[in-house]
Structure formats: structure tokens, C-alpha cells
Chains A and B, each alone.
Chain A
Amino acid sequence: MKVKVISRSADQYLRNTKLEIHKVFRNFDPDLHPFSDAREYTRALNAVKLEKVFAKPFLGNLDGHRDSVACIAKHPTRLSSLVSGAFDGEVRVWDIPQRLCVREFVAHNGIVRGVTYTPKGEHFITIGDDKTIKTWNSLMPQFGEEDEPVNTVLSKTVVTSLSHQKKSNIFATSGEVVQLWEANRNQPLKTYEWGVDSLHDVAFNMVEPNVFGACASDRSIILYDARDKGPLRKVIMKLRSNKIAWNPMEAFIFTCANEDYNLYTFDTRNLKKPVNVHMDHVGAVTYVDYAPTGKEFVSGSYDKTIRIFTADHGHSREIYHTKRMQRLTCVHWTLDNKFIISGSDEMNIRIWKARASEKLGPMNPRERNALRYADALKDKFASHPQIKRIGRHRHVPKHIYNAQKELHVIKKKQKRKEGNRRAHSKRGEVPYVPERAKHVIKEVH
């Protein structure tokens, strides 16, 4: 007779002292873990509810400007620095973690139209309505010294926006014409014209450093090459684009913020049709900026809200708003991919989290794993009605809610009318036009 019975000695299963952690024994036998699906579903439901509970995206604001904030520039190498220009010609430099203004001076007569750091962050360049392009030292002036520009250039034409090339000392300004400047030179290197009376935005590509694009008041977006003499191509849209932003990871993709409440992502290789139409805003979109990963972008709008879009999705994943925030003038995604900085009409600069419910600060590995697990579960059960509804729900201000309803009615009416027209005309006379083809008029070479 051979016999053995389960017998466990307690010292093998219990911790020796109270200072140790409890011993954990795992057995992944599926029979010992019944209802795994239902329990996972419950966990996913809890996770998505907790996500809502912790969704507190607003971190703080930087106040001090005496007029609306016109433009903001991120420091290329330091996360804590920020420079902003206002409508009264004032420029302020901020320390973000301390939420302090470390430097302020009046740079221009009239509005500061644009500000940008040089690639290494030693200087920043401002342009204003007084047609001057001023270069400033990033270092604070010595005690008792006045803020003086390192270099001042007077442009012959109006300048409305500027963008710096990624690595060299060349930058572009827009205005009546697009001009290419080099640091320390008083004359533009090149001037580009294409029968347009004014251009209001210019942006350099971050991967392909010689390519840049501009938005013109004749509803077109023009592409340029810094090595070429003339502009490359343009695409004319139904309404004006306000801002152009290049994808920092994919050289040929850019997104423009349009007056018709939408954003359009284009592939430069085929401008006839946008790759994607991003809808959700209920006012003209004024600003767009890509996340450093190139997977998401943030947009600010005249409807007083910020929206975050996944680059390949047509609808936003997030909306940020506060009672006091007015029309957005600029929105930036910080280079650590964690925060969003917005400047608006009511003189404040606001700092937001890029992911509303993300926990900031250091995390235990256990905590991080738990959050990852929760994310995976949310993903797994994303299409379940209950989880979908909770995850998608956003509280929006009344004016947005009403505007959304109104837009919905308008779109329904248009669709109905088109259907009626189709029903009463010859087959094929009223074709089905995809949404992507609706907003572009033509591509010009």
C-alpha cells in the first residue's frame, strides 16, 4: 500500500516575519478561475467608470497677459520653458512647472503675430504688425539691463506668421508674399509669389526640412520647397484654411484647420482628395498641432473648445472646455507628449493633460501593470453597449450641445434634399459624392 495525502506545512506558505510581503502562489488552471469572461467584463466596466472618475484634465493656467494671447512657442529642448506673445505687443516667457512669468517685455507695436525658437533654443524670433522681425536672446538680461533684441529686421511687406526650419538657421514668414530669411541677414533669401494677395500661415515640415506649406486667403494651401525658386503646388478648398500642421513622423502628411468647422488631413502626393476629414467642432477651427508621436493632434476652435483627434479617425476622442475659456487662438502639444497648452482670447494660457485621466508622477510597477491591464480590458470590451456609452460620454456646454443639434438638423436636411433631387432626376445625374471629395475644389500644379 502506497499512500499520499495533500499536506501543506504552514511555514512554506506563510511569510516568516511581518516585514516580508505575503507569499503568493498561482495556479492558472482554468477550472480554478470560473466566470473569467464575466469577471473581465465587470473589471472592464469598473475600469471605464474609474477612467471617467479620474478624468480631470485641467492642470492650471498662466495668467499675466493684459491682452489676448496671440501666439505661443515651445522650447525645442526644454520642457519647462514657454514663450507667448499677446495682442498688445507684449511677449512673456514662462516657467511652466512653477507657473510663473519669468520675463516680460513689449516687443512690437501692435499685435505679436508669431513667435518661434531657433533650433537650439538660444534665441527666439518674434514678428509683429509693425513689420519687424526681431531676434531675442533666450537668456534673461542682466539685472538692470533692458530687454533689447539681438537683431531687428524691417520687412518690406506685412508679416503674419513665421516658422523655423528644423536644424538650420533659415526661417520663413508669410504675409503678402512668403519670404525665406536667414539669421543675421537683413534681406530675405527668397520670395515666393503665386497670385495671392495675402497668406496667413506658414509651417515647415519637420522630417523633410526643405518642404513647407502656407495657407492663403484665396482658400488655398500652397506647398513650397526652400531649394526651389517658385512654389510647388496648391490645393484650393471651399473655405479658407486657418492653420497648417505637418505630421512630425510622416513627412508627406499634413493637417489643416479649416473655417468650415472641419480639419483635413492631406497626403502631399495626392492633394485632390484629403486622406481624412475630421469633424466635431461647431465653430471655425483656428489652430492645430500634432503630438510628437504623430498619432494624434489637438485643435482649438472658435467655439471655445479644444478637441483631440486620433490622426486616422474622423471624430475626436476628447473635448476640453471650461466656463471661462473663450475663443482659442493657439493650442500646442508639448514635446513630452503629456500636456496640451492653449492660449485663448481671455488673456490666459492654460495647461491640460493630453490624456484626461492619466496619473502624473512616478508609478509603482504594480500600479502601472494594473493600468495597462485595465486599458487592455477596455479595448477588449470596447464595443459592448454599456462600456461604449460610458467611455464615449462627454459633458459639453449648452452652446456646443445646441450647435451640435442644429448642425445635425442642417446635415439631415441637406441629405434629404439631395435624396429628393436624386429621386426626381435621371439616374446618375446626381451622383453620390463622398465626404472627402466634397471640400476640395481643385489641385493646381
Chain B
Amino acid sequence: MKEKRKNMKTPKEWLEKHSKGEGVNLKKLKTKIHAKKFETKEKEVKFATEIAAKAEILLTEQKGYLENDPGETTTQFTQKDIANNVDITAATKSFDLKLEFGPYRYEIQYLNKYKSENYKFSRAKYTKNGRHLVIGGKKGHVAAFDWLTKKLHCEINVMESVHDISFLHIETMFAVAQKSWVYIYDNQGIELHCIKRLNKVTRLEFLPYHFLLASCSDEGYLSWLDVSIGQLVSQFNTNLGRLSILTQNPWNACLCLGHAKGVVSMWSPNSRDPLAKMLCHKAPISAIHVDPSGMYMATAATNRELKIWDIRKLEGPVQDYKLINAATNLAFSQRRMLATGSGNIVEIYRDCCNQAAKRPYLLHKFNNPIGNFNFCPYEDVLGVATARGFTSLLVPGSGEPNFDSYEANPFQSKKQRQESEVKALLEKIQPELITLDPSKILEVDVPTLRDKIEAKKKLLYVKPPKINYEPRNKAKGKGGSAKIARNKKILNEKARKEFIKATKDILPEVKKTKNMKKPFNVLDRFLPKKKQQ
């Protein structure tokens, strides 16, 4: 029995997937006690990694796939073909809603002007567990429903233009960015809140682990609203003009904004300046999306470019594509498929980040222009909101087949939902922890150490203290102004000397660092030669 267990080796790719990175180099540690401590810690980490990797074997569901026979391409398969070849329950996931609530206007000239706001007609978003869907039409039609069972929660007309829509942490509440303010409705369509401080909002993003409803506005304002306590965490003007392209980085909860100058900027509520700015294109950016693992960012610009960036390193582009039409929408799926939308066409690419994809994996044409689309988490489905309705497309292999009940459970009951809401609230991450690197909290706080050293260095430029000498009252004849002046001089001199002596100890260190900082310059050879010491 024991031997059998030994033979069962966990595959390398599983171990790599769960790996927590390279460990500490034990040889570099100076003291024995710390070496021992880190050794045990490394052992624990290794053990945890192995156990997590071994648990892979318990996953029940298989991922979806679509394979072509020789002579065929996957691109040629239509939704009809796919729906006819899958089982009945899966086939019901492909559906089309025709929503004829007033004329949804579609004007081609806006497309050319790339005022993105105007050609996105309706918006649709899923909950975190992918079970529920909320759609909002430009003309004020809002509906929330369980899209798997097709059970409608509510359907209302807000009698105002709807710019964006988003579920909050649970499916019983959603926020709608309307003509001037943001409103929160519950799943019966009852207005819970009207948030007048979020004015003229164009896009909404909900950060589920921070309970923050992030929004960007027509007037260039970015704001983060804590929905658990109902307070605005931060709101400021970015001074970058009208903001209408917004996406969140699910890995670090930063917001990514796309600008007309081809720049993508990343924001956290803690600083009024962007955390990072990337010049991605030489034309206005038309769409951005970040993949759920936070590894890649896809950006599209009006010059038909599509670029994939390594967002952890803020480097790239990893891939550089030229599309036939400029993409106005982008969406990554959980298994890193990328959907691009332009006009009335949706193209889905597979393996487009690591290697250059030659042709789309799937392609779908609509009769109407696309509003926006999102991949449904934990399902092989792409939900597309169009000018005249909502279409659910089957995209085999796009979703993660195995969910984690404690993280997002599509089958959760009411009681489970309530319990997980409480748990999530207890674990709410404070907005101060939003940074580019989410594991910063585990690292040594180097800046404070640096500050200490800086403060020490600054001592060098401090003037020596002057002594306020007040002579004691002495007996008559013993004092005299000359003597007082002399004493004062002596004391001041002494204090100065002491001060210099104290600062001298620090001086050599600083000099060393100064020398090290200077990089070698080619022109240095023309400098007068230094004396050999």
C-alpha cells in the first residue's frame, strides 16, 4: 500500500499551477536560527503546494472543447451546429432574447467618431457565480433574471437613459448608472438607493472582495463607493477628460482606464495620480479587458490594433494583432479565450496570449450592432447584449468547469447565499490594500526602513545647534562681559565639534552609496584622472 502511494506522483503541471514561487535562498541567510526558521517554513509551503496539487485529482467536471475534423476549421461552425451537437441541457444555454423596447438607435457616423458611449446600446453583466444576469437597455429597460432557468427576477423601465449596469456582491441587488445618477435596485425592481454623489456615470465596475462600486463619469471623475457601509471611499477628478472605457483588474482590484491618446492608466482609491500609465497605442483606445488571473491585458485601438500586454510586469506587448475592423469590445474568459467585437461581429480567439492566433476560434454575426459582451463565469457561454436584444452564445472550452463552493457557487441556496454574504463581509478587504502588487502585504516594509536611512542622511545637512548660554550670577568682580563672551564662544565651539564628530560616523556610509550610484559613462574617460589612493 505504501509503495503504491509513493508511485503516485503529482504531475508537474499541477505542481506548477499551485506553486507559490521560488523559495528563499537559504544559503544567503546569515544566522543559523533564521536559516532553520526559513527551512521549516519552506517545507510547509512545499507541503501545502503538494497537497493542493494532489487535490486536482478530485475535480469532477471536464472542460469543454470543440474539435474540427481534417479539412474543417472551428471557425466555420455556427451556433446552430454547436447547439445541435451538444446535450439538451447545454443546448438551452444558447438562446436569443428579442427586446423591442422602443427604437434602439444605431447610427453609423458615431462609430466612425468613436464616441464609444453612443454606439453601446445595451449592457449585460453576470454575477460572480455566473448564475444571474442583468441587462440594461439604453432607453431605460432593465431586467434581472436567472438565465439558466430563465426565471425573471424583475423587469422595469427606469424611464431614463441607462449607461451601465452591474450586480453588487449578491444577485439581490444591482446598480444602474442612469442619466444623471446611480441607482441601486433590489431583485424585485424596488429602488433602494439613489446615489446623487455619483453624477453622470458612464461605466460601473464592482470589486467584489472590497465591496467597492467603482465608477467613472462623463466629467472625468473616478469614484469608489463602499456598498457595505454606504460611504464614498474616494472620489476625484482624473483631469483626463471624459472617461468611458473602464475595466477592473481582477487580480489586484486596480481600475484600468482607456484614453483617447492611446494611454491606459491604472488607478487605486489611495492616490490621486495613476499608479501606472502605459502608452499602448498610437490611436484612441476603444476597449480594454484584463483576464481573470490578472496576467494579461488586451487593448484595442481605433487603428485596428489589438495588443496583449503582460500586466504584472507592465511590459509588452506580448502579442500584436491587426484586426479587420477596430474592436469596440473585448472580453477574456476564465480559460483565457478572448472575444473581440466590432460592429455586428463577435470573434473569439483561443490561445492568443502565449502564441499568435492565426484565425478566430469562433465567429458570430448579428443582425444588430453589439452593445457589450461578457463571458459567463463557470459556463461555456458568451452573453452578448445587442441593439435589439440579448444573445447567449455557446463557446466550448471558455469557462472553468470546476467551481469552488466557498468562492462562487452557481447552485447556492438562499441560506448559503446569506451565509456567504456574512463571511464575505467579514473578510472585506480594506480599500487601502489596493495596490499594483496584491501580495505587498506579505513583504517587508522597505520604505520605512529607507525613510529611516534618509532621515539619518539628512542629519548631515543640519546645522550644528547653537547653545543659548546664560551665565550664572556670579559674585562681584568674578564675572565681566569679556569672560562671558569667551565662555560662550568656548561652549559653542565645543558643541560644534561634538556635532561634527557624531555625524562623521555616518559620513563614510553615505559616501559609499554615492559612489555606487554613479553609473559608468562613456564620456568619463575625458575627466581628469583621479589620484591613486
Contacts and interface: CB of A to CB of B under 8 A. Distances in A.
Given A32-B400, A42-B428, A4 B379 contact: no
A10 B402 contact: no
Contact of B429 (A14, A25, A27, A39): A39
Given A5-B82, A6-B64, A27-B59, A14 B379 contact: no
B62 A4 contact: yes
A28 B426 contact: no
Contacts of A33: 404, 407
A381 B346 CA distance: 47
B451 interface: no
B427 A39 contact: yes
A6 B65 CA distance: 9
Contacts of A32: 400, 403-404, 407-408
Interface size class on chain A is 35 or more
Interface string B420-447: 0000001111100100001101100000
Contact of A3 (B18, B66, B410): B66
A54 interface: no
B404 A26 contact: yes
A29 interface: yes
Given A6-B379, A7-B89, A35-B429, A27 B64 contact: no
A2 B400 CA distance: 19
Given A4-B64, A5-B394, A35-B253, A28 B18 contact: yes
Contacts of B401: 6
B317 interface: no
A116 to B, nearest CB: 40
A37 B439 contact: yes
A82 to B, nearest CB: 40
Contact of B61 (A6, A24, A37): A6
Interface string B1-30: 000000000000000011000000000000
Interface string A15-40: 00000001111111111111101110
Contacts of B406: 24, 26
B196 to A, nearest CB: 31
A23 B58 CA distance: 14
Interface in B413-472: 413, 416, 426-430, 433, 438-439, 441-442
Contact of A4 (B81, B86, B251, B429): B86
B67 interface: yes
A8 B61 contact: yes
Contacts of B59: 27
Nearest to B20: A30
Contact of B378 (A6, A23, A41): A6
Counting chain B CB atoms within 10 Å of each CB, which of A12, A24, A38, A46 scores highest? Answer: A38
B239 interface: no
A142 interface: no
A373 interface: no
Interface string A35-65: 1011101110010000000000000000000
B22 to A, nearest CB: 16
Contacts of B409: 25
A34 B438 contact: yes
Interface in A178-194: none
A384 B443 CA distance: 10
B64 to A, nearest CB: 5
Contacts of A25: 60, 402-405, 409
A8 B405 CA distance: 14
A139 interface: no
Interface size class on chain B is 35 or more
Nearest to B58: A26
B396 A22 contact: no
B107 interface: no
A10 B66 CA distance: 24
Given A31-B293, A37-B441, A42-B428, A3 B402 contact: no
Counting chain B CB atoms within 10 Å of each CB, which of A6, A23, A27, A39 scores highest? Answer: A6
Interface string B357-386: 000000000000000000000111000000
Interface string A241-269: 00000000000000000000000000000
B255 to A, nearest CB: 15
A347 to B, nearest CB: 45
Contacts of B253: 35
Interface string A338-360: 00000000000000000000000
Contacts of B18: 28-30
Contact of A7 (B87, B408, B416): B87
Interface in B68-117: 68-69, 72, 77, 81-82, 85-87, 89-90, 93
A34 B251 contact: yes
A27 B69 CA distance: 33
B55 interface: yes
Counting chain B CB atoms within 10 Å of each CB, which of A5, A24, A25, A34 scores highest? Answer: A5
A5 B55 contact: no
B403 A27 contact: yes
A13 interface: yes
A10 B400 CA distance: 17
B438 A3 contact: no
Contact of A38 (B56, B404, B433): B433
A343 B58 CA distance: 57
A34 B56 CA distance: 18
Interface in B196-217: 209
Counting chain B CB atoms within 10 Å of each CB, which of A3, A9, A12 scores highest? Answer: A3
B399 interface: yes
Contacts of B82: 3, 5
B294 to A, nearest CB: 7
B248 to A, nearest CB: 11
Contact of B67 (A3, A6, A26): A3
B400 A29 contact: yes
A1 interface: yes
Contacts of B404: 25-29, 32-33
A296 B430 CA distance: 37
15 contacts: A2-B65, A3-B66, A5-B394, A6-B401, A7-B87, A22-B405, A25-B409, A26-B55, A26-B405, A27-B403, A28-B52, A34-B294, A38-B438, A41-B433, A384-B441
The 3 closest A-B pairs by CB, nearest first: A7-B90, A31-B293, A2-B67
Interface of B: 17-18, 52, 55-56, 58-69, 72, 77, 81-82, 85-87, 89-90, 93, 209, 250-251, 253, 292-294, 334, 378-380, 394, 396, 399-411, 413, 416, 426-430, 433, 438-439, 441-442
Given A1-B68, A25-B404, 9 more contacts: A2-B66, A7-B93, A8-B410, A12-B60, A13-B411, A25-B405, A31-B293, A35-B438, A42-B430
